[in-house]
Structure 1
Amino acid sequence: MNETNPARLSKMLDAMSPTCAPFAARWDAEADRRAKLRTPENLKRLMEAQRNHTSARATAAAARSQRTAARKATKNPLSGARRAARTADKAARQHQTSARAALRAARKSYPSTLARLAVHAHALHAVPAGVTSWVLSTPADWAVWPVSVSAGVIGLNAGLLLVGRRSVSVSIEDGLSAEERQLVERLDPSYWVTHAEERGLGGTVTAPPKVGTGGITCEIRLDGQWTVKGLNAKADNIRNLLGARSALRMRITGGSRGGWAVLMLATRRATDGTSAMWTPDLVPADPQMMSLGLDTETGEPVVIPFDERMLIAGASGTGKSWSTRPLLATAHLRGDLVLIDGKGEEGTVWESVCRVAVEADEIETVIDEIHAEMNARKRDMKRRGISVWDGPQLTVLVDEGQVVLAQVKGDADRLQRLIELSSLGRSRGIVLWWATQKPVMSGAAPGVHNLIAPNLLTRFSLRVADATEAQTALDDCADYQPQKIERGKEWRGHGYLKDYGPRIIRTWTLDDAGVRTLPRKVWTSGTAEVPAPVSAPAERPGLRLVKTGAAVPSPRPIEAGPVTNRDRVLAAVREGARTGRDITDRTGLNKGTVSKLVKALVEAGELAKAADGTITATTTQAGEVSA
């Protein structure tokens, strides 16, 4: 036999397999249905129904015999014996009928196996027909053709089952997972062409698939009236043809030439094995850009504009805060940063690094200060005759947006200031970033205001709850479907960037320790009007005793002015303020901010608070003792 014959036979059987597959599938489905019904409980019911039916038949036969005997015993049809026998016979026949129906139902509940049923069917045809043929034939023309026909039918059924159950053989490269092997097998042109028609994909032909760092890529030729848009509409049919899991990301795009589409199955990530930790070295050399993360399909870095307003969306647990930290660190190193934290957890980490507002009064104060700064920059730009701010950028992150909007909901003036910051601040060097778990603009608790969202042109979305939130999160790129990003810790920090393309990006992350290593730089408004401190009455200097031989240090020089709110509080206490009210009056800060700063300074040992509430500075001159 020629060596090419086995290969030819294999190809012929592969070509016949799709034709026989429906028969084999129906056979297997029916056999599986019958096997599932053959339970011990159903068998017990069948045996009981058989006993009842046998008993009912015996009772009916006895009643019929008694009725016949009664009819012979007397000619009177109205006699009591005949009427009793007739009634008993009728009842016995009804009982037999109901027992027969119960037996029929029990047999359906516990059916014979499909193989046994096929043997019975062929035997029912072959045995009587063969006997009849033998009886009616003479030795000269004797033939048992019914038996040969049945044997041929049995062979045909067995052949259809064997060919229909045959798996198409496809050459697969090593190093693939079980899932990838199955997908590559079904993307092979020999399998695709034979099964495409039954899935409504007739007229499409695949090219041999390729496996890369981002997964499986396969070109599809579009014949006839097929278009890329039409193929996208059949995405569910393709998933069913491939047997792909529902969570597997699948993308269909146009090919490099007309009449072709490209199917991408993200079975791998190019970022696997690479660290996601952010370091200052990742800050781009271009001052207008900042690094967001890595493309999971190509492994290439993804950068976004630094001076652009941004919306960051992501459900709870998707890594939104971790994804935002590297962007905040970049903004902090390049300019000034203000964090308005409606929840408070992030503020705890960042309060030692930058300006943070958590409590309601702090949020209100910082909104007012930033708005005043924006207007001051406008006046300064007009005085200098420039149209774009040329100083350091002030970046403002609002997180969580839903909480902050709820706090200023009843304050129309502060809400308007937030809206103006989103629309007017960019040209004046004040850029608003907005983060929310619930990217909706309507309802009782919106995550972003409908007048703020249109100004946030850069949009990044981690996994969201549904298509409605995806529409707000990515606007006209909602077809990326961020709501279908897989769940699980390994997918935290993965999302889509608007206008980048439907390719998932793995963002950089920064832990708590990394945040605390950043240099401290707290922004304060240079335009906020701080009331002049109230002068304390001149007091007679107290007597001081100086230790023998101790050098008297020169007094600490008075600073030209406080740089931060912390310095303002310290300066007020040194100048005579002894209560929270005194400090509030001298610094012009709100009482919530003063209370928080005093507590922090007491814990740091720079201030002391007596039992009666008196606040004093703990700094004393070396070598001095109170008289």
Structure 2
Amino acid sequence: MDWKQAWSTTTNTTTAALDSLSPLCAPFAVRWDLEADRRTKLRTPEHLKTLMAAQKEHNAARSTLSTAKSQKTAARAATNNPFAAARRAARVAAKAATAHERDTRGKLKAARVNYPSTLKARAIHAHSLHAVPGAIASALMSTEHLTIWPAATSALLIGANVAGLALGRRTVRVPVDESVSPEERQLMERLDPSYWVEHAPDRGLSGTVTTPPAIEPGGIRCEIRLDGTWTVKTLADKADSIGALLGARTALRMRIASASRKGWAVLTLATRSAAADVSSLWTPDRVPADPELMSLGVDIETGDEVLIPFAERLLVSGASGTGKSWSTRPLMATAHLRGDMALIDGKGEESIPWDGICRCANEPDEIDAVIDDAHAEMVRRKVEMKRRGISVWDGRQLTVFIDEGQVVLAHIMRDKARLQRLVELSSLGRSRGVVLWWATQYPVVDGAAPGLHKMIAPNLLTRFSLRVATTTQSGVALDDCADYAPHKIPQGKEWRGHGYLKGYGPRLIRTWALDDAGVRSLPKSIWAPEKATAKQTAQAPLRLVKNLAAAGGSSNRDKVLVAVRVGARTAKEVADATGLNKGTVSREIKALVASGDLVRSADGRILPGQQAA
């Protein structure tokens, strides 16, 4: 046997066990030391002098009280008359002596509080009160078979007290990799349980205990035990206090999240990036083999590639200069290589490298044409799917990407018919292989210059947000995942293209990058709508065709029917979506309800009927 190796293994195992137990005993040791220090500071000469004077006065008062009680007893024995002068005088003297003794006793108690005995002496007294009777009980209970459990219990309590103090005061040595930076070394030392428990109360963090921190690809990770009334939310609210305790830089990103078990939190300090060694350049090799997915970027905490659905409607938001074009070019290239893509560029700059590669629209008439053609293609595919008996389109996907939706909306907002076509693209197109992607600085749906239409917003389920300005904008961009806090992404060129994906978790994602030369190297494929055959046109249901040649009630009725199918539930919403006046809308709704195409719910909402479904 290799005794040296065996001893080393045993020592390492014991050290690891002690390191795991030390954080559990640290709060006990800290409370002990704090109480011992408090008692030591109170044991001043002034307090000792006061205690001695109080003891002397109390002893004198007890003596006086004893004498008064004796005189009272003697007076009672001398005469049976309770109103005799001697008995009355003895009673008054005893009453005064009792009051004086009570007063001196209170002063003595206060003096003992101000000059307490040491905590060590108190512990010895407490253990003696248990150990001495326990030893006597063991001796008395021992007969033929020695019964030592009372004494053993006392010994165990004393041992537990001593061991708890020793473990709690033990300094846990955190293994630090030589590759860590001086900043990481300092942070890990301050996250050490012995340092944390000692200094946490000064920052209002009493009741929290850390575990030994560890270096991960994304930085430092440490679990924190939450005692008492602490929760993950209340700890997150103390982020500034934690940063001050650690001495962290202001720009250091710190994340506090729930651990895998209740009563614990996870603290992550982004001192490094797991994506630092991964090239951000996108190439066609990064297109996933799974046709249902596409690559968004790299998780900078874990280094894992982040994949999102390909055939899903997408919203990309972020302030100007945060890298929306940077983030979306690889996605557009994926859509271009896998199928057809049409780019509607409201600003005009982003489409420059894509000109001649895919279909682009910058001018108002070009934007109108792309929306009309995409809608017509969607209708054509619906007819084709019905003819073939399929429920989901199995051909090439047409991706309509709108860059800077605010500009596009400003152009078509007054054109109710064309706006309705765009709404239908977002609500009806996915199953027909026509998918809408939307990019804007601020996806607000109201106000004078909305970045997103209120009927389109609910359909954009995949949401990616780069840096935004305020917490309000975070809520608009990521909905119920606003706690990811994209408004806290640092500013700077190095943080362009970094953002959060809704539903993925509060971990930053660094997107891929594709420069102008990379875009121009893509194969050319200009999409144009296919023409419907005479047979397909004849089979198309009239109510799905938007631009009917005939004017009048039937055309308005189709508009109302489609508006309800895409989400309008009140007459006002239908009027807003179709541009018809309220009287016309009411008349058409009444006729559609009578025919069974629409139904009214118990709460007055308008719903598609069985025929419309």
Q: Is the pair's TM-score, using the shorter chain for normalization, greater than 0.5?
A: yes
* 1:142-164: CA deviation from partner (whole Å, max 9, x where unpaired): xxxxxxxxxxxxxxxxxxxxxxx
1:236 maps to which of 234, 240, 243: 240
Residues 1:317 and 2:321 are matched in the alignment: yes
Residues 1:245 and 2:249 are matched in the alignment: yes
1:213 maps to which of 202, 214, 217: 217
**8 Å Cα contact 2:30-2:197 kept in structure 1:** no
2:445 maps to which of 420, 441, 446: 441
Equivalent residue, structure 1, for 2:282: 278
Equivalent residue, structure 1, for 2:206: 202
**8 Å Cα contact 1:400-1:437 kept in structure 2:** yes
SS of 1:338's partner is: strand
1:481 aligned partner, one-letter code = A
SS of 1:303's partner is: strand
Equivalent residue, structure 2, for 1:345: 349
Partners of 1:249 and 1:527 in 2: CA distance = 54
Partners of 1:376 and 1:478 in 2: CA distance = 39
1:199 aligned partner, one-letter code = R
Residues 1:468 and 2:472 are matched in the alignment: yes
1:281 aligned partner, one-letter code = D
1:352 aligned partner, one-letter code = G
**8 Å Cα contact 1:372-1:528 kept in structure 2:** no
* 1:140-186: CA deviation from partner (whole Å, max 9, x where unpaired): xxxxxxxxxxxxxxxxxxxxxxxxxxxx9976543332332332222
Partners of 1:528 and 1:447 in 2: CA distance = 34
Paired residues for 1:475-554 under 5 Å: 475-527=479-531
Equivalent residue, structure 2, for 1:455: 459
Residues 1:354 and 2:358 are matched in the alignment: yes
Equivalent residue, structure 1, for 2:331: 327
- Equivalent pairs counted in the alignment come to 371
How far 1:228 sits from its partner (Å)?
Answer: 2.2
How far 1:505 sits from its partner (Å)?
Answer: 0.6
2:264 aligned partner, one-letter code = W
Residues 1:256 and 2:260 are matched in the alignment: yes
Partners of 2:233 and 2:314 in 1: CA distance = 30
Partners of 2:251 and 2:489 in 1: CA distance = 8
Residues 1:268 and 2:272 are matched in the alignment: yes
Residues 1:418 and 2:426 are matched in the alignment: no
Partners of 1:364 and 1:481 in 2: CA distance = 36
SS of 2:455's partner is: coil
State which drifts further: 359-368 or 437-446. Answer: 437-446
2:383 maps to which of 367, 374, 379: 379
TM-score, normalised relative to structure 1: 0.57
How far 1:249 sits from its partner (Å)?
Answer: 1.8
1:479 aligned partner, one-letter code = D
**8 Å Cα contact 2:298-2:305 kept in structure 1:** yes
Partners of 2:394 and 2:222 in 1: CA distance = 49
Paired residues for 1:158-173 under 5 Å: 173=177
* 1:270-297: CA deviation from partner (whole Å, max 9, x where unpaired): 0112210011111101000001111101
SS of 1:322's partner is: helix
Paired residues for 1:139-150 under 5 Å: none
2:334 aligned partner, one-letter code = T
2:385 aligned partner, one-letter code = M
Partners of 2:206 and 2:275 in 1: CA distance = 36
* 1:223-276: CA deviation from partner (whole Å, max 9, x where unpaired): 223222332232232223223233322222222333322111111100112210
SS of 1:431's partner is: strand
Equivalent residue, structure 2, for 1:117: none
How far 1:417 sits from its partner (Å)?
Answer: 1.1
Paired residues for 1:186-197 under 5 Å: 186-197=190-201
**8 Å Cα contact 1:388-1:428 kept in structure 2:** yes
Partners of 1:298 and 1:386 in 2: CA distance = 41
Runs of 5+ in structure 2 lacking a partner?
Answer: 1-25, 35-170, 534-613
**8 Å Cα contact 1:247-1:485 kept in structure 2:** no
Partners of 1:364 and 1:226 in 2: CA distance = 57
SS of 1:236's partner is: helix
How far 1:351 sits from its partner (Å)?
Answer: 1.2
Residues 1:296 and 2:307 are matched in the alignment: no
SS of 2:458's partner is: helix
2:271 aligned partner, one-letter code = T
Partners of 1:283 and 1:254 in 2: CA distance = 33
Equivalent residue, structure 2, for 1:185: 189
Partners of 1:487 and 1:179 in 2: CA distance = 21
Partners of 2:203 and 2:444 in 1: CA distance = 37
Counterparts in 2 of 1:467 and 1:173: CA distance versus 1, 3 Å: same
Partners of 2:265 and 2:286 in 1: CA distance = 36
Partners of 2:491 and 2:182 in 1: CA distance = 21
How far 1:439 sits from its partner (Å)?
Answer: 2.4
Equivalent residue, structure 1, for 2:435: 431
Aligned Cα root-mean-square deviation (Å): 2.5
Counterparts in 2 of 1:169 and 1:500: CA distance versus 1, 3 Å: closer
Runs of 5+ in structure 1 lacking a partner?
Answer: 1-10, 20-167, 530-627
Partners of 2:401 and 2:205 in 1: CA distance = 48
2:321 aligned partner, one-letter code = G
From the two aligned structures, give the one with the greater helix fraction. Answer: 2
How far 1:528 sits from its partner (Å)?
Answer: 7.9
**8 Å Cα contact 2:288-2:295 kept in structure 1:** yes
Partners of 1:478 and 1:330 in 2: CA distance = 28
Equivalent residue, structure 2, for 1:406: 410
1:270 aligned partner, one-letter code = A
**8 Å Cα contact 2:380-2:532 kept in structure 1:** no
**8 Å Cα contact 1:440-1:468 kept in structure 2:** no
Partners of 2:280 and 2:481 in 1: CA distance = 26
* 1:74-126: CA deviation from partner (whole Å, max 9, x where unpaired): xxxxxxxxxxxxxxxxxxxxxxxxxxxxxxxxxxxxxxxxxxxxxxxxxxxxx
- Choose 1 or 2 for highest CA Rg: 1
Partners of 1:170 and 1:248 in 2: CA distance = 25
Partners of 2:423 and 2:473 in 1: CA distance = 21
How far 1:195 sits from its partner (Å)?
Answer: 1.7
SS of 1:503's partner is: coil
TM-score, normalised relative to structure 2: 0.58
